[in-house]
Structure 1
């Protein structure tokens, strides 16, 4: 009597992937890249520890789909970063993975050629090479830690990591974050709830044991030390923003009550801009005013910015893609980016050192 198959009923195929060790050997960390990562992480940690008066600003395209455009954006951002470095620490947003509500393009790692060929190994090579290039330019980078396997391939090049609103509640992502080498920001829930982020912050600082992969790609029991640099990211939710002074004050109270870090980062996009990229500059202005009026909890910002304003759908003919325009969420263009950050730096240049002195 033939045995009925009970295993892998819905698996069409599996392909072995390059191991993290092999990828790192092909695209190693140069000394200059290593120095950029270490300096960037130390600077963010010092800001979170209130040893550095600056704000850190994670800024860049919603997602990376064009390496050439990413380099052009990075070159412009590096010049601006040097100009405002006494007030703002600019961290380049380099998002390779996109969570989807239903279906859609899942990012450069999953589908680097944007044609449903899903050449994931190529995507990992392209992503790691770009991160090495950015670090060699002297730009610290930030990304969203979405797939729990990916950090073994890329985390050594990341200054700051985000856990998105869809995954902040996930035990897998909380455990993974407890072992990340970078500081990590947890976004509030898509409904605006802060509780999921607070629970994540309580979890991430603790030791965890879970299944993961090691540098040779083997399944391993991973034991973490806990990550002391978890903090909240306010991104709005439930159709409402939560960056205003009242929402920030309520967040401070909730964080204090839970006895977790009261450091607050504000995401100028998503529900905080009502998904209108142009409104991000108004959020930046509002945060600047809150700090001028005495706020002490806001230490960081996130902005979705690209060479050109807006976004576009991915066309069937990829030659029709508009250069420098996002293919996911809409972004502000470079001119608005430059003007907004310069204005913020000018207005806060003499206030932030006084704020830190008052906290001491």
Structure 2
């Protein structure tokens, strides 16, 4: 057994500066504006299935920053920074729990390194998105997150719904693994309402608390075990369910997981379909998610970090960076053509410029 510091103690060791706090607040407000329709851009959440290596995560962030800046008229890009991983049965539970990748499960070190990584991303001006898997660990770093999700395995959880209702962060509820969207819709509704529940004070004491409700909840369609749900009919059905629940009609589409049949090379099919639907006039689609890493695919993991290939996922398979950049630039080009056909995006020159800047940043 190891006694952990309170949230307040840990945050005092790794504090966010006023500049970092302001950056996070601005990013959250931008996400809310997109969800509410006052900002017409699309959210784009891009990054590894899971973070397992500090250095490859930083390199990915450098590259993403350059792309995000060049395509900001059309996308507000956040980095997927998932340091906890939900497991159907057993397995590696994420960087936060086992940061040394050796089964030693040094949780305190994982919490510290997770917060350090998020602070560095703030300095790079890269907004972070994550899944909140365990409410107990979430308060160590939730102040550094710009968008959060409640995953397919926990959308039905009352504990997670209560937790989400007390966050000042836009929260997306994913449909269940089987594909049923009821859990997501009900989760988004429940989290939008006030709740009385037990939580931990920042000093570590158990307290009775009252949430105000989170008005920035929404749903994320990620497909199910027997069918995808990124097609126009499935999205229309989801929007109708939201309307029936008196919730804002807005969805994000996860291009990975069961929408791609867990095959990373199929993510572009989903992405292109969603861009086409947006261009056809569906303004209720507010964004997309892509699982992407430096290199394609994934690799087996056996608690021996020396054997791992750099920049390759150890959980779900991911698109490689070059394919990701090409795909996102294609999407921006399509959106630009629809908005102003006479004004072309010089994607090739932007890509070259991004490459030059990223090379300098990595030095």
User: Into which bin does the TM-score normalised by the smaller protein fall?
Assistant: over 0.9
Q: State the TM-score, normalizing by the size of structure 2.
A: 0.92
* Aligned with 2:88 (options 101, 110, 126): 101
In structure 2, C-alpha distance between the alignment counterparts of 1:251 and 1:207, rounded to whole Å: 24
- CA offsets 1:320-344 (integer angstroms, 9 cap, x no match): 1000000101100000110011110
Distance 1:120 1:217 in 2: 17
Shift of 1:294: 1.6
Matching of residue 86 in structure 1 with residue 73 in structure 2: yes
User: Does the CA-based 8 Å contact 1:78-1:138 persist in structure 2?
Assistant: yes
Of the structure 1 ranges 343-352 and 146-155, higher mean CA displacement relative to structure 2 is found in 343-352
* In the alignment, structure 1 residue 234 sits paired with structure 2 residue 221: yes
For 1:201-212, list aligned pairs within 5 A: 201-212=188-199
Q: How many residues align?
A: 340
The gaps in structure 1 that reach 5 residues or longer are 1-13, 354-360
- Output the CA distance in 1 between the equivalents of 2:92 and 2:13: 27
Q: CA deviation at 1:150?
A: 1.7
Instruction: Please point out which of 53, 58, 62 is paired with 1:71.
Output: 58
**What RMSD, in angstroms, separates the aligned Cα atoms of the two structures?**
1.2
Q: Which moved more, 1:228-237 or 1:255-264?
A: 255-264
What SS does the aligned partner of 2:172 have? strand
Partner of 1:178: 165
Q: Which residue of 2 aligns with 1:267?
A: 254
- 2: CA distance between counterparts of 1:351 and 1:180? 36
- What CA distance in whole angstroms lies between the structure 1 residues aligned with 2:50 and 2:249? 29
Matched, 1:277 2:264: yes
Contact 1:54 1:352 in 2 (8 A): no
SS in structure 1 at match of 2:169: coil
State the shift of 1:350 in Å: 5.6
Report the counterpart of residue 244 of structure 1 in structure 2: 231
- Distance in 1, matches of 2:138 and 2:208, equals 16
Counterpart of 2:147 (choices 153, 160, 165) is 160
Counterpart in 2 of 1:200?
187
Partner Cα separation in structure 2 for residue 152 and residue 254 of structure 1: 31
State which of 288, 301, 304 in structure 1 corresponds to 2:288: 301
Q: Does 1:142 find its partner at 2:129?
A: yes
Q: Is the 8 A contact 2:102 2:304 kept in 1?
A: no
Indicate conservation of the 8 Å contact 1:315/1:321, yes or no: no
The equivalent residue for 2:274 is 287
The answer to whether the Cα contact below 8 Å between 2:103 and 2:303 also exists between their aligned partners in 1 is: no
TM-aligned CA deviation for residue 248 of structure 1:
0.9
Residue in structure 1 matched with residue 330 of structure 2 by the alignment: 343
| Equivalent residue for 1:61, pick from 48, 51, 54 | 48
Tell me how far apart the structure 2 counterparts of residues 332 and 203 of structure 1 sit (CA, whole Å). Answer: 34
SS of equivalent to 1:192: coil
